[in-house]
Amino acid sequence: MSLLDIAGIAVSPDHYIAGQRVASAERFALHSPIDQRPLGHISEGLAEHVEAAIVAAQHAFPAWSALTAAERKPYLDRFADEIGKRADAFCLLESNDAGVLLSRMRHGVVPRAMLNIRWFAEHALTLQDRPIETEQATHLVRHDPAGVVVVITPWNAPLMLSTWKLGPALAAGNCCILKPPEWAPLTCSLLADAAHAAGLTPGVFNVVQGTGANTGARLVSDARIARVSFTGSVPTAKWIAQAAGANLVPCSLELGGKSPFIVLPDADLEQAAATGALMYRNAGQVCLAGTRFLVHAQVAEAFIAAMRAHVEKLNVGDPREEATEVGPIIHPRQLERVAGFVERAVAAGARVLWGGARHAFGAQYYQPTMLADVAQGSEIVQNEVFGPVLTLQTFASDDEAVLLANGTDYGLGGVCYGETAHATEVAQRVRTGFIWVNSFGIRDLAAPFGGIKRSGIGREGGDWSFEFFCDVKDVVVPKKPFRASFSHR
């Protein structure tokens, strides 16, 4: 078996199917976003690999699904343990492969990945046979595993989002096929090593690498798939929904964001500005970031000065260095997309408050940027950039702030700073799947996560994840002898 050497970490470039590594005759090149150096060639998932993965998952499903949640839990706990044993490797791989900050991986992502597996394994214990008592009967509500599920994750957070979906899918008793992002597949490959070492039955967890147009398309259009969970772009989601819909396969779609960051006149401007600078983390490649700054006109000048001071202190550089706060854009194609948004906005009259150009550190780096004098209907305000580019608009009243906040086709998240009661009242009027008041990034696995409008369909987290990955069934047990009669329904 051939292995890649990435910063001293050995990782397979091949698929993981039925407990074994499987190579492909066709491969695609992988480069690091840090300095464009070649990382190796990755096996492309062809029709035979998709078929083998589906068959393997189908074969493993009867035994895995027959286990109780309590019986599956030790496997998943060991899976989390094996992720922890490889913590340094996961950190180095994703930093080299996707440009994610090494410090963020070490202190946030890897611990969260372990928790994703453990928490859902534990929560699954609470789901079975929940009784609903009525006068006539006891309703035993069951969450039965759906079958073979496909998980497709994006390149901005491969490890975290893979485990976020795999945790409930596996804990529910499904067998999974993970399709990693082609621009950053390596931590998903290492995840297969962790699952193998944990003793997951062959076929319970499979990894098939490849492009969305080739491998992904074959997976989501197969009638044997029971569920598709996807995080990514709106255009891709539309295609997935259409392909899966032909077989009436349910989809969970967590998509893009164009979230508002509202600064009310009674906000703590220093705290709001410090939080605002966080929107540049992962080079702005974060779907839930507040990218549209809506600032009350009375405090706009002071807020801009405060945030500028924070942005000027940001350390742009190599994500493998502990002090780095802003790393590279994932791919040359994405960099061109980001730069194009800014160039067109400036040509249309936008004013650059800071940034606005490529960064001198490296070929795939872009300056943290803020654009003002942008129209509500403009491309830069309405469409997701997915880079370190923010916009700033002012408002004169709460009603105007809410109108601007709700004035896009997206509705994923949001941030609202102000006196707590005031900010909470405004936040409740913003049409999003979630919104943070005087904070950012607070998450709990028991809480729902997802968007409205073009930001997605469905919710992930807590019971919501299991309701998607399970067939919910009501077992009705009468409390009195039942007498059949055509006069009663």
Closest by Cα among 293, 287, 261, 279 to 384: 287
Token pair of 410, please?
């997206």
Query: Is 278 within the bounds of a domain?
Result: yes
Amino acid at position 375, single letter: A
Q: Is residue 487 part of a domain?
A: no
The mean pLDDT of the chain is 96
| Same domain (yes/no): 62, 146 | yes
User: In whole angstroms, how far apart are CA 358 and each of 83, 279, 363, 401?
Assistant: 36, 18, 8, 31
What per-residue confidence (pLDDT) applies to 7? 93
Mean pLDDT, residues 223-238: 96
The whole-angstrom separation of Cα 22 and Cα 56 is 13
Does the annotation count 188 as an active-site position? no
Other beta carbons within 10 angstroms of residue 126's beta carbon come to 11
State whether 312 and 376 are in the same domain.
yes
Within 13 Å of residue 153, how many CA atoms lie on the same side as its CB? 28
Is position 332 within any domain?
Answer: yes
Choosing from 82, 94, 460, 470, the catalytic residue is 460
Strand partners, 449: 460
What are the CA-CA distances from residue 309 to residues 129, 305, 313, 314, 328 (Å)? 56, 6, 7, 9, 22
- Within this chain, do residues 237 and 363 fall inside the same structural domain, yes or no? no
Cα within 13 Å of Cα(164), Cβ side: 28
Q: Are the CB atoms for 414 and 430 separated by under 8 Å?
A: yes
Q: Could you tell me if 97 and 210 lie in one domain?
A: yes
From CA 394, how far away is CA 392, in angstroms rounded? Answer: 7
- Measured CA to CA, the distance from residue 174 to residue 143 in angstroms comes to 11
pLDDT for 128:
78
* pLDDT exceeds cutoff 70 at 1: no
User: Would 387 be classed as within a structural domain?
Assistant: yes
**In terms of domains, do 147 and 31 share one?**
yes
Q: Which candidate in 165, 188, 251, 325 is catalytic?
A: 165
| Token output for 277 | 């600078």
**How many Cα atoms occupy the beta-carbon half-sphere of 438 within 13 Å?**
14
Q: Using one digit for the tens of pLDDT, what is the confidence trace for 398-456?
A: 999 999 999 999 999 999 999 999 999 999 999 999 999 999 999 999 999 999 999 99
Are the C-beta atoms of residues 117 and 83 closer than 8 Å to each other?
Answer: yes
- The single-letter code of the amino acid at 138 is T
pLDDT digits (tens, 9 = 90+) for 308-330: 999 999 999 999 999 999 999 99
Q: Whose CA is closest to 64, among 225, 175, 199?
A: 175
Amino acid 2: pLDDT = 87
Selecting among 254, 258, 416, 470, the annotated active-site residue is: 254
Q: Is residue 484 part of a domain?
A: no
- Among 455, 94, 98, which residue's Cα sits nearest to residue 287? 455
Does residue 165 have an active-site annotation? yes
Q: What is the pLDDT of residue 489?
A: 54
CA distance linking residue 292 with residue 176, whole number of Å: 37
Res 485: pLDDT = 81
Residues 430 and 465 in one domain: no
Say if residue 160 is in the same domain as residue 227: yes
Same domain, 234 and 265: no
Instruction: Verify that 271 and 124 share a domain, yes or no.
Output: no
pLDDT reading at 488 higher than 60: no
Q: Could you confirm whether 419 is annotated as catalytic?
A: no
From the candidates 287, 325, 416, 470, give the one annotated as an active-site residue.
Answer: 287
* Full residue range of the structural domain in which residue 288 is found: 259-437
**DSSP β-bridge partners for residue 393:** 294
Residue-wise pLDDT tens digits, 253-271: 999 999 999 999 999 999 9
Residue closest to 90 by CA, chosen among 21, 206, 6, 205: 6
Give a yes or no: residue 449 inside a domain: no
Encode the chain in three state secondary structure: CCCEEECCEEECCCEEECCEEECCCCEEEEECCCCCCEEEEEECCCHHHHHHHHHHHHHHHHHHHHCCHHHHHHHHHHHHHHHHHCHHHHHHHHHHHHCCCHHHHHHHHHHHHHHHHHHHHHHHHHCCCEEEECCCEEEEEEEEECCEEEEECCCCCHHHHHHHHHHHHHHCCCEEEEECCCCCCHHHHHHHHHHHHCCCCCCCEEECCCCHHHHHHHHHCCCCCCEEEEECCHHHHHHHHHHHHCCCCCEEEECCCCEEEEECCCCCHHHHHHHHHHHHHHHHCCCCCEEEEEEECCCHHHHHHHHHHHHHCCCECCCCCCCCCECCCCCHHHHHHHHHHHHHHHHCCCEEEECCCECCCCCCCECCEEEECCCCCCHHHHCCCCCCEEEEEEECCHHHHHHHHCCCCEECCCEEECCHHHHHHHHCCCCCCCCEECCCCCCCCCCCECCEECCEECCECHHHHHHHHEEEEEEEEECCCCCCCCCCC
Same domain, 277 and 412: yes
Answer whether residue 482 is part of any domain. no
What angle separates helix 69-85 from helix 186-197, to the nearest 10 degrees?
Answer: 120
**Locate tokens 């096929």: which residue?**
177
Question: Tokens in use for 96?
Answer: 């080299």
Give the model's pLDDT for residue 486: 79
Number of domains in the chain: 2
Whether residues 266 and 318 share a domain: the answer is yes
Tell whether 409 and 470 lie within a shared domain.
Answer: no
Q: pTM for this one?
A: 0.95
Cα–Cα distance, 201 to 408 (Å, whole number): 46
| Closest listed residue to residue 190, CA positions, set 180, 202, 204 | 180
Can you tell me the mean pLDDT for 208-212?
Answer: 95
Report the CATH number at residue 423: 3.40.309.10
Mean pLDDT of all residues in 324-349: 97
CATH number of 129's domain: 3.40.605.10
CB 409 within 8 A of CB 454: yes
26 assigned to active site: no
- Please indicate, yes or no, if residue 94 is contained in any of the structural domains: yes
